[in-house]
Structure formats: structure tokens, C-alpha cells
Amino acid sequence: MNTKIDLPTGLGAFAELPRASLVSGRTALEPMPNLAAECGGARLFVKRDDCTGLAFGGNKVRQLEFYLGEAIVQGADTVLITSAVQSNFVRLAAAAARKLGMDCHIQLEERVPTEDPLYRQSGNVFLDKLFGATLYSYPDGEDEAGADRRVREIAVELEDAGRKPYIIPLAPGHPPLGALGYVVAAKELLNQLAERNLGVDEIFVASGSGATHGGLLFGLRALGSAIPVTGICVRRDAVKQKERIRRTCDGIAGLLKLDPVIGEDDIRLNDDFLPPGYGRINDATSEAILLGARKEGLILDPVYTGKAMAGCIHHARAASDDASFVFVHTGGTPALFAYQGMIEQSLRLP
């Protein structure tokens, strides 16, 4: 296990935090010239965190390094996690647990109102089963506290059976260990921009749990960068999400034993692409999925990256030709197959 990371001493207590080695290496920063031309000329780049290396990749691999680093230190033999039926996080938690020699118990929450058999059997659910995870169901997709409470009950049952479980929490109020992965990513991205002498006007990222958005924003500011980060809301409206990001950033400061570095104006959110809700497709998201595939060969999902790309495209179309934007591709590839029927219908594919 790697317990130290190559970050400046100005980032406080990073060297004290355990970290499991899961990310395969630095992810690419690639230009998107065809999509840029489609959008009117502003320069577009994609940070390929869909290629983090483990089990179809995605942003959660970076986050799991810090959660599972702590799990190893605690001597855990089982990982517990709760999230949506087609969650990328639980799929990667199961894969990471297996890679580190642990078992995984997954609670799937009913967040998306659909009985589509593909949604319930394909994509991430199929992979959860392939990794041998034990699956549970929770009926209320909007009850984070209740979902966490049920996971704690499962943990007690496992402890009674002689196991040593480690819980990855869902609701706010816990140290945001996962967000530290995107403090690391912020340094990685800044290095890539410096190597190319590339100035960036804005970064776009899906904003859901808040760990990726909050970690990236905190990392940039702690490292002295003022690049704006716009989170595209994928689960809750901008007012609620802003409080979540604020708490995440405050929690990161606490973990690193640093003073807060995030001001009120730093937290930028756009919820225009959220309706009709989490995991549900709208026209802008459908267009973004189609343009990503046909202009750049990028695979986007309708839950996170499709909506975030829709926001990036919207801003690019309104920008001047000399503007530069970075889209953080957070993965989600397997979920695309679970949404196949909905996407085909939305895009009227043959």
C-alpha cells in the first residue's frame, strides 16, 4: 500500500493519510477539436478519468484509494457501501475490494422510477454480481440517513458473524476521505496544463455526491490556481448542492489540517440540465451523448457525464473562439448499457 503521495508540503497532513494503490497512472488530457468545431470554435479538452484503470475506470477509483487505505489500516475484511441501482461507485468498490482481498456487501437504493429489465440486470448490476458482491435493496432513494443506518445494521450482523466490516458512508457528516482523490487529481491536471503552457477559462464536472467536485475545487485553490470549476448538478438543485460542496471543502480542510481555502464565489453550480431528475434523460443530455460519440468517440452516460457534457457544450456555444474549457470525464461506461432502451428511444436510433 502506498502511504505517501507526491504533493507539496503546503497541502498539510496528506503524508499522514493511508492510501491504497488503485489508479493505474496519470490520466490523459486530450483535445476535442471536432466537438469544438461543432460548438462554434472554443477550445475543448477532456480529462480522461474514465480511464483510471480498474474495472472500466471512473472517478470513484481515485476516491476509493483513500477509503480503502483506511480500511486496510483498520484490518477490515469486508467493504460495505450503499448507492443507486446502477451506481458506478458500488461497482468499483466491489472490484477494488476483490483486488485488495476483501469481500463486498452492496446496498442498492431505488432512485430511478423504472421497471426496465436492462436497468435492473445489465450494466453495473451485472458487474456487481460478477465480482461476487452480496446485494441488498433499500426502497427509498432519497433517504441518505436511512440508507446509511441500514448499512450500519448490516455491519453489526457481519461483526456478529466474526467479520471486520468497513463502511463507505453516503450521507454528509463524515470525513470526506474520497474527496482527497481529487485533490491529487487537481495537481495532476495543473501539471498537464503547465506542460502544454495551456490556459483554461473553466472546468466542467458532474456534481453529485460532491467528492469529485469539492476535491478538485479545493485542490486547485490550495495549489494556488484560480481556474473556475462549474459543477453540473446531477442529483439535487444548485441551492442544496452548494451547501454540500461547502461542507465537503470544509471537511477536506479538516482532514488536511489546513485553513479553509474556498470562498462563497468559488462554488459554481448549474442545475439547468438536471430535470426531470437523477438518472433520467433530457434532450440536452441525449444530444451530448450523441455528439460525444460521433464527434470524439467518447462514451458518456445519461446519469453523470452526459449531463455534465451538456453543460460544457452549452457554455462552449456561447463562448468566444479564444476560450478554453476542460471537461472532466468521470466515467460511467457500464451504466450506458443499462439505459440502452431509454437512450435508443430518446435518440430515435435504428
Q: Which residues are catalytic?
A: 87
From CA 219, how far away is CA 109, in angstroms rounded?
31
Say how far residue 100 (Cα) sits from the centre of its chain: 21
Which of helix, strand or coil describes residue 310? helix
Which residue type sits at 222?
A: A
How far is CA 97 from each of CA 77, 133, 148, 171, 201, rounded to the nearest angstrom? Answer: 9, 9, 19, 21, 38
Indicate the pairing of strand 29-31 with strand 43-48. antiparallel
H-assigned helices in the chain = 33-39, 60-73, 88-99, 117-121, 123-130, 144-160, 180-195, 211-222, 238-256, 283-296, 305-318, 333-338, 340-347
From CA 186, how far away is CA 176, in angstroms rounded?
16
| Main-chain phi, psi angles of 206, to 5 degrees | -65, 140
Beta bridge partners of residue 324, listed in sequence order: 43
How far is CA 141 from each of CA 85, 145, 216, 276, 326, rounded to the nearest angstrom? Answer: 9, 11, 26, 15, 31
